Amino acid sequence: MASLFLIYSFMSSLLATLTVTTATETDIYCLKSIKDSVIDPFGYLNSSWDFGSNNTEGFICGFRGVRCLHDTVGDIRLSGKGLKGQFPLGLENCTSLNGLNFSNNTLQGPIPSDICKRLPYIYDLDLSYNNFSGEIPSSIADCRYLNTLRLDNNKLIGHIPPQIGQLDRMKVFSVANNQLSGPLPNFGAVIPYDSFANNTGLCGMPLKNCSSHQQKFEYSFKGGFVIGYIVFSASVAICFTSYCVPWVYAGEGKKKITILGMMVLMRRRKHKITEDGQAGSSLLEEGTKEVSMLEKRVARMSYADLNDATDNFSEKYVIGQGKMGILYKSSLPNGYVLAVKKLHDFQFLEEQFISELKILGPLRHINLLPLLGFCIEQNQRFLVYQYMPNGNLYDWLHPKEESQEKVMEWGVRVKIAIGIARGLAWIHQNCHTIRVIHLHISSKCILLDRNFQPKLSNFGEAMLMSSTSTSSVNSELWEMAFVKEDVHGFGVVLLELITRVDPGNMTDSSNNVLDEWTDHLLSSSSSHGAIDKSLIGRGFDAEIFLLLEVACRCVDPVPDRRPTMLQVYEDIKAIRERCDLADDSDNLTRPEICPATSEISVEIERAEYL
């Protein structure tokens, strides 16, 4: 019996040792994946999480922000460390993790739809004060141990999944300061009012009661009675259209359409080619076919070359980060400088990746950012552009620190304005086969080369329209519902150039602030106060106010009253001539490089840039 006891004790100790060793190895891999997948601008993880100099058992438990339970990682707290990037998917390797706090960082992208499979024992999850977007995944209700869930101060949209109310351990729940809508779940615990504040679409206790419309929508959603909901929505739309929505006129024939109709048209949108009212098939469905066809026009680049040019995508080469991915500066052996965009998550951005290739890839114009190539490596996607040494317009107008303030002369601002107007007019009207609507114009997507020639970028959410349609009605609707959206975005950029006011302070979700502000600019005798002080009194005051009038026409709340981009280009060109400013790129039309007109011309343009 004594021998059996000793054998049993030895086997138990050995099993426990193997378990701890395995857990430690997976925890090390988990923490390494966090360190590798996020951008750490302040070096918090680099200075504290050292995996090379210490091999003692449980050494990771001494890392800052890491708390262990029996030598395994049980809690990670990285609040307020300035971390950037997306939610680290490698967290699933911390198999005993029950607490995670990423609050007060600048993480972005969606919350993983399978978060509870990755963190099955999580009971305290804090993702507040970040830039997470998209919907709250309904599968988060599978985290059955959750008693604290903080998602406030993000950019989340959609409904709060009703299943969350079934988590009987939930004690703290906060989604304040998002863009959520719909009825609140029925929570077992008492959740205070301020946990849902500043979500204008939410209703139900402890907020205001839901309207009958919201209740009917929720009933339809839950029950699956889609047909009934469509009938209900159509009835409301008809009544609203008949009695509430103003009519506007399109074109010389004065055909009546409603603003509501225009909104519906805008929903028939991105990444589809529309011809005679027929919508094209999804880019995702044709992704493989599209890529193989686009290889004729956009160079497919080697992952090994891009990896070498960025030193394994080292942080020291990072020059920016946007919604789609992280941007790296890289240099080829021949001295050519590139900008390589590594997409955050191909599963969520595959459609934008294909759209960027399909739309921007074949286009060559002095005011469009040249897309030079792409790379597909397993689950990673890369886009390669010509490098723009002067960055984006937003950073010039709104430096992060006053000490970094950069002076932008009036002549440079006019050059940027006329360049973007020229580029937009070209994609709207000058291509023989397709027309392009950007739909996301802002100062952040306007890049500047070494001579401050502006380049329009970020076509991941753009839309293609056929220009061969013979239907005058389609032409009028296209003109009003789509092109005028770009005109409005350009008008906001013009206002930004003139006033240096951040566009976030000009507009709200309904544009009411912008309408009131532009009315004040045009009617007030003291409008000098709104114009950037560095421009006033330098001999161009009259021209500045002329450009201000152009901007206000572009952001007119009635799309039918907004000018076309070609008209805007001509107006700004006349203002530039009054200022006696030269521009050697006054070349609006370049028909020989319109997409699909000539394979040879496209190849020549590619060769010029490569």
Q: Give CA–CA dist 274/434, Å, rounded.
A: 10
Q: Give CA–CA dist 225/205, Å, rounded.
A: 25
329 is in an annotated binding site: no
Q: Per residue, what are the HEC states of 157-212? A: EECCCHHHHHCCCCCEEECCCCEEEEECCCCCCCCCHHHCCCCCEEECCCCCCCCH
Q: Give CA–CA dist 38/40, Å, rounded.
A: 6
Report phi then psi at 157, rounded to 5: -125, 175
Q: Give CA–CA dist 269/257, Å, rounded.
A: 18
Please give the radius of gyration of the chain, using alpha carbons only, rounded to the nearest integer: 28
CA distances from 214 to 203, 208, 219, 324 (A): 9, 12, 9, 33
Per the structure block, which two tokens stand in for 521?
């600019």
**Which alpha helices (H) appear in 343-400, and where do they start and end?**
346-360, 393-397
**Which alpha helices (H) appear in 38-126, and where do they start and end?**
44-48, 115-118
- Picking from 355, 367, 379, the residue whose alpha carbon sits closest to that of residue 89 is 379
CA end-to-end span of the chain, whole Å?
80
Q: Which of helix, strand or coil describes residue 47?
A: helix
Binding residues: 342
Binding residues for ATP: 342
